[in-house]
Amino acid sequence: MKDIGIGLLGLGVVGSGVAGVLLNKTDKLAEQAGIPLVLKKVLVRDVNKQRLDCFASLAMTDRAEEVITNPEVDIVIEVIGGEHPALEYIKQAITTGKHVVTANKEVIAKYGYELLSLAQKYNVGLRYEASVGSGIPLISPFQQDLAANDISAIYAILNGTTNYILTQMSQEGLDFPLALRQAQELGYAEANPVNDIEGIDAAYKLAILSSLAFHTAVNPKNIYCEGISRLQAKDFKYAKEFGYAIKLLAIAKRDGEAIELRVHPVFIPEDSQLAKVNGVYNAVQVEGNLAGKLVFYGQGAGALPASSAIIADVLTIARNISYRISNAPKIQLNQKLTVKPISDIKIRYYFRLNVLDRPGVLAQISKVLGDNSVSISSVIQKESDLKSQTAVLVIMTHPAEEKAVQKALEEIKQLTVVNEVSNFIRVEG
């Protein structure tokens, strides 16, 4: 074997980054891998499209088979993204005996177990370090460095778009629609931002991390998911007054044989490590019984960070090939854990209510909460408005069952003294 052939599916932002590294760093990569890596074929949508001069030498095709079943290709890199046809391409590559490196969080979150089993059967590698946190080393530390730990919890900022928007809302006092528009203008949010802002992207990544952490196949469908669109500038103002930041966290917590899996906005103490993660950065906090609390921080998106992870995976596979070591994945997803329904979790809450500004209102609200076993930790009356005779009540609760809180909120909405339940946000830490 004189070189290792690479096939690249996709030449978009990430694909161009990967191709650039493979073309420009041939000597360094050959030295790292112990054998030259050669980019043999690239799948593009339009072979006639005008491209950067540095890509002039690339052999392009618009037929996936020419990459996937190409006898010169040993490793297929999939950076098309999305579920279809990426899933089919990956399967075809594996069953053709190719090693696969992918950055595809959706495919790995939904079909990871199936694909890893397939790779095991065909004795090929399937690596996906770039699928979570982009260039932040996570998959490999979770699989290898934390192997001796019983992991109790993951708290993670896994979506740079929403973290950028929340940072702007917090620092500039913007409301959500304006912060989103700015993020779109800067290219941090897509024209159709629903996957990011509704927490779906973060849920895919949480499914991948929690599968590794808890050695169980987590279906992203079982992750409770709430986005950031109902947050308002006011919530950030009150959060600060209480000493909190608001972040969209992906949370996985082990509780005996059950796990909590959820993505939603939370109040977290402003002096915590995660509260200080601003802008498009990502961070993953993981708690192990031995290692204690660890935080991994870095850029969670972008062509170069993704290339860092993808090329690292390629190098690992290439090194194993050159040392004749099997790349077949070792699957450890044998734990039988149930997912705790969101209604069963116990958690603290922040409520913002618009109420009539008159005596006895707090008593009525407190009674509803008390009747539902939700106990108040603090309450502040804000922004009394003389003209409309209304006031804003901000309430923080002690830990209570989610379903009790939701029932209490429904009853509070019915009170004639309550104009509006303006927002409610869970509190961690």
Among 30, 59, 146, 178, indicate the residue that binds its own copies (CB under 8 A): 146
Contact status: 220 vs its own copies (CB under 8 A): no
Among 129, 196, 198, 260, indicate the residue that binds its own copies (CB under 8 A): 129
CB-nearer residue toward its own copies: 150 or 371 = 150
Contact status: 101 vs its own copies (CB under 8 A): no
Using the structure block, give the residue that is written with the tokens 């996985």: 252
CB-nearer residue toward its own copies: 2 or 330 = 330
Contact status: 120 vs its own copies (CB under 8 A): no
Residue at 260: amino acid letter = E
Contact status: 145 vs its own copies (CB under 8 A): yes
What length does the chain have?
Answer: 429
Contact status: 333 vs its own copies (CB under 8 A): no
Residue at 180: amino acid letter = L
Among 123, 289, 338, 378, indicate the residue that binds its own copies (CB under 8 A): 289
Question: How far is it, in rounded angstroms, from Cα 7 to Cα 39?
Answer: 6
Q: Annotated catalytic, 247?
A: no
Cis before 141 (ω within 30): no
Contact status: 1 vs its own copies (CB under 8 A): no
Contact status: 81 vs its own copies (CB under 8 A): no
Number of amino acids touching its own copies (CB under 8 A) = 52
Minimal distance, residue 308 CB to its own copies, in Å:
4
Contact status: 373 vs its own copies (CB under 8 A): no
Using the structure block, give the residue that is written with the tokens 């969209």: 248
CB-nearer residue toward its own copies: 294 or 415 = 294
CB-nearer residue toward its own copies: 105 or 262 = 105
Can you read off the two tokens belonging to residue 124?
Answer: 């090929």
CB-nearer residue toward its own copies: 36 or 298 = 298
Beta bridge partners of 101: 77, 127
Beta bridge partners of 230: none
Contact status: 211 vs its own copies (CB under 8 A): no
Minimal distance, residue 29 CB to its own copies, in Å:
7
Q: Are 226 and 162 in contact (CB under 8 A)?
A: no
Among 276, 346, 398, 413, indicate the residue that binds its own copies (CB under 8 A): 276
Contact status: 136 vs its own copies (CB under 8 A): yes
- Residue from 72, 64, 11, 77 nearest 36 by CA: 72
- Segment lying near its own copies (by CB under 8 A), choices 79-87, 288-296, 372-380, 381-389: 288-296
Active-site residue identified among 40, 41, 91, 205: 205
Contact status: 332 vs its own copies (CB under 8 A): yes
Among 95, 140, 184, 423, indicate the residue that binds its own copies (CB under 8 A): 140
Write each residue from 294 to 323 as x if it is in contact with its own copies (CB under 8 A), else as -, in one continuous string.
Answer: xxxxxx--x-xx-xxx-xx--xx--x---x
Q: Which of residues 32-71 bind its own copies (CB under 8 A)?
A: 32, 34
CB-nearer residue toward its own copies: 111 or 297 = 297
CB-nearer residue toward its own copies: 22 or 427 = 22
Among 63, 240, 293, 358, indicate the residue that binds its own copies (CB under 8 A): 293
Residue ranges binding its own copies (CB under 8 A): 17, 21, 25, 28-29, 31-32, 34, 129, 135-137, 140-141, 144-150, 273, 276, 288-299, 302, 304-305, 307-309, 311-312, 315-316, 319, 323, 325-326, 330, 332, 334
- Residues with catalytic annotation? 205
